[in-house]
Amino acid sequence: MSRRTVLLTHGPAALAQYYGPRALAGLRAVADVRCKDDETPWAMETLVAAAADCDLIVSDRATEAPAALLARLPQLVAWCRCAVDIRNVDVPAASAHGILVTQASAGFMTSVTEWIVGVMIDLARGISDAVQAYRAGQVPPVAMGRELRGSVLGIVGYGQIGRTLAATAQALGMQVLVSDPHAAVGPQGPAQVSMAELLAGSDFVVCLAVATPQTENLFDAAAFAAMRPGAYFVNASRGNLVDEAALRDALDGGRIAGCAMDVGRAPDQMPSSALAAHPRVIATPHIGGLTPPAIEHQSLETVRQVEALLQGRVPEGAVNAEHARRLRAWSGA
């Protein structure tokens, strides 16, 4: 049987930073791999042409798989998403066509947790402000800082990152509160409280909730008004969870002391430029999970998924295995 063809949708920069040479070599060892040669975003017709004779697609977060695209790829057996987030894939449409959809498991808990701890320290001690002043040739004012030890950390969303962050914060001597209606905290875990109790009682509020239609603008004017005066807000989840106008008002009015964000409502979940430039905001360009171990965890997982598919097996990470008709036909099952 001839080698199968895989389309890797990452552009050159994304391929280097978000997929990596080890995973690319692993993919090329088992299939013919077609890569994107420029940074131009995929247009529908361009993607259809590139994927027309491909058996599998391994996609980045910027490449969408709407129903209209999937309907024009009769040879496609599976769409493998190199991340946990599969909101850019129309899974019901894929299922209707018999296309398997897979996702990678989370491998960025440590990376994102370290980013959160780093920005909490920065917010509490004014590190970025001092650095910017010195680089501008000014002497920054000497200001009293806060210790994380003894402070109260409120975590909204107690998933894998939330659990890792809670353990790390407790090791640093922080008191941890958790609010998540979909998760149960064990008897040895942090205190589970209502959202209102968490907002009122936390020195640092970290948003790690999942982005869904129900959590759109979870942090709105009422949420920021309910926060303890002088508290800090950190968003390491998705920009969709925050009403940015309400956040700006809370910052401008001094209701909260500052904010750190790695995500926002700009394209590709980047922080919005106007909000990122606010003097009380620390913003980074969606790099919380951008470390070699975190990236390789997911990219190498897609290689294992492709290997399983080439053997006619449904891989770990499949989200609609019962609809994988093309894989069953492909493997003769």
Determine contact, residues 148/124, Cβ cutoff 8 Å. Answer: yes
Question: In Å, what is the CA distance from 191 to each residue of 66, 164, 218, 227?
Answer: 41, 15, 21, 18
Beta carbons of 260 and 122 less than 8 angstroms apart: yes
Region 309-321: mean pLDDT is 95
What does the alpha-carbon distance between residue 117 and residue 108 come to, in Å, rounded to a whole number?
14
Q: Is 225 exposed, middle or buried (0-12, 13-18, 19+ CB in 10 A)?
A: middle
Place of tokens 């107690």: 158
- Report the distance separating Cα 268 and Cα 240, nearest Å: 12
Q: What is the token pair recorded at 248?
A: 């700006």
Nearest Cα neighbor of 275 from 267, 283, 220 is 283
Structure tokens at 67: 């129903």
Q: Which of 77, 69, 75, 70 is nearest to 100 (CA)?
A: 77
Q: Give φ, ψ of 282 to 5 degrees.
A: -110, 120
**241 has a pLDDT exceeding 90:** yes
Which pLDDT belongs to residue 184?
86
Q: How far apart are CA 82 and CA 89, in angstroms?
A: 12
Alpha-carbon Rg of the chain, whole angstroms?
22
Q: Yes or no: is domain 5-107+292-331 CATH 3.40.50.720?
A: yes
Q: Are 156 and 150 in contact (CB under 8 A)?
A: no
Residue range 104-131: mean pLDDT, rounded? 95
Model pLDDT, residue 106: 85
DSSP H helical ranges for 37-150: 44-51, 67-70, 91-96, 109-125, 127-135
Most confident of 182-186, 220-224, 263-267: 220-224
pTM above 0.75, yes or no: yes
| Residue 230: closest CA among 208, 202, 207 | 202
Mean pLDDT for 171-190 is 92
Tens of pLDDT along 279-310? 999 999 999 999 999 999 999 999 999 999 99
The pLDDT of residue 332: 64
What is the residue extent of each domain of the chain? 5-107+292-331, 109-283
Q: Which CATH superfamily is domain 109-283 in?
A: NAD(P)-binding Rossmann-like Domain (3.40.50.720)
Can 5-107+292-331 and 109-283 be said to share one CATH topology?
Answer: yes
The mean of the pLDDT values for the chain is: 94
Contact 202, 158 (CB under 8 A): no
Distance from C-alpha of 193 to C-alpha of 154, rounded to nearest angstrom? 9
Q: Please say whether the beta carbons of 198 and 156 come within 8 A.
A: yes
| CA neighbor of 119 nearest in space, from 230, 223, 204, 176 | 204
Range 127-146 average pLDDT: 95
The answer to whether residue 333 scores a pLDDT higher than 60 is no
172 by Cβ neighbours in 10 Å (0-12 / 13-18 / 19+) ranks as middle
Q: How confident is the model at residue 145 (pLDDT cuts 50, 70, 90)?
A: very high
